[in-house]
Amino acid sequence: MTQETRDSFTDPRLAPPLPPQAPLRLFRHFVLLALTAYTMLLNGAGVASPGIAGERFFDRDLIDPSFLWLGVSYALALLAILGAHEMGHYVACRIYRVDASLPYFLPGPPAPYGFLGTFGAFIRIRSRFTNRNALYDIGIAGPIAGLVVAIPVLLYGLATAQTPEIGANMSRVDVPLLWRLLITFLPEVPEGHGRILSGPLLAGYIGCFATALNLLPIGQLDGGHVLYALSARLHRTVSILSLVALTIMGLFFSPFWMFFAALLVLVTPWHPPVLDETTPLSFGRRLVSFVGLCMLVFCFIVDPFGL
């Protein structure tokens, strides 16, 4: 990696110390984490109980340990993936003295009224990025850390998933290239059988999907951070073209992409400048961008969950 020159405000060693996390904020993080863990447990248990549908879901005792136990493998695996992703960002922020919060986990509706039990997680960045190298490292650290956890989770899920005979009431889902690559290392499923998408397999599937979403080169997504660090001039054009591509995919493949494109437009598909726009991105980081592109390609799902 090339040697970089930094001035007083881009050198993390000379940046002012970060403020400590306030006790009230820490309590808020803990409450959201606990709520998200619970909704994930409910989701994992609901998906693992195919006979439960609609109002029958609420016929169960939703605090019954024997019922919640069915969702433990899913909840732990997905919390690990999302947590690793956000902690990748957080640790990189700490290294560069960028003021950022601990991860906020967002609870969501469980099955059968949702499918994930969570709306994901995020960190709040309260100060501007110092230079492009810092922006790049903070942006790419999350997807890499999350995928490092998601790959073994997905492999374990594929190896241990139930493989019943495909029935008329079962539906198929589109899978990422990473899934197709990993199953080449595993015994083949018998003809006419398929893997049940639940537990660690579902968590790994969601982890792949979340990685691909974050790596899209749009706005202030992780991929948008990486793209801006590579070329601030191209960022706006590529973001707009990517939004158009998502809209077209929404028309031909899954309406989810149209919804996601609209959501990104509301969040604004632009990127704020970094403090030091003159320091160039190092050559080594430009090479790592190819790894990021491969991650996007291998984790992308054209028709997620058959939505």
Tens digit of each residue's pLDDT (9 = 90 or more) over 208-238: 999 999 999 999 999 999 999 999 889 999 9
Read off the pLDDT of each residue in 146-166 and give the average, rounded to a whole number: 91
| Cα–Cα nearest to 206, from 145, 291, 119, 139 | 119
Read off the pLDDT of each residue in 154-166 and give the average, rounded to a whole number: 88
Query: Distance between CA 214 and CA 296 in Å, rounded?
Result: 9
pLDDT in tens, 85-121: 999 999 999 999 899 999 999 998 886 666 688 999 9
- What HEC string does the chain produce? CCCCCCCCCCCCCCCCCCCCCCHHHHHHHHHHHHHHHHHHHHHHHHHCCCCCCHHHHHHCCCCCHHHHHHHHHHHHHHHHHHHHHHHHHHHHHHHCCCCECCCEEEECCCCCCCCCCEEEEECCECCCCCEHHHHHHHHHHHHHHHHHHHHHHHHHHHHHCCCCECCCCCCCCCCCHHHHHHHHHCCCCCCCECCCCCHHHHHHHHHHHHHHHHHCCCCCCHHHHHHHHHCHHHHHHHHHHHHHHHHHHHHHCCHHHHHHHHHHHHHCCCCCCCCECCCCCCHHHHHHHHHHHHHHHHHCCCCHHHC
pLDDT in tens, 28-46: 899 999 999 999 998 888 8
Query: Distance between CA 184 and CA 261 in Å, rounded?
Result: 34
What's the CA angle centered on 45, arms 194 and 178, to 5 degrees?
Answer: 40
Whether the pLDDT of residue 150 is over 60: the answer is yes
The pLDDT of residue 258: 92
The pLDDT of residue 151: 96
The pLDDT of residue 227: 94
pTM assigned to the model: 0.87
Q: What's the mean pLDDT when you consider all of the chain?
A: 85
The pLDDT of residue 268: 72
The pLDDT of residue 54: 47
- What HEC string does 231-297 produce? CHHHHHHHHHHHHHHHHHHHHHCCHHHHHHHHHHHHHCCCCCCCCECCCCCCHHHHHHHHHHHHHHH
Sketch the domain layout of the chain as residue ranges.
Answer: 23-165+173-306
Residue 70: pLDDT band (50, 70, 90) is confident
Count of CB atoms within 10 A of residue 160's CB? 12
The pLDDT of residue 5: 38
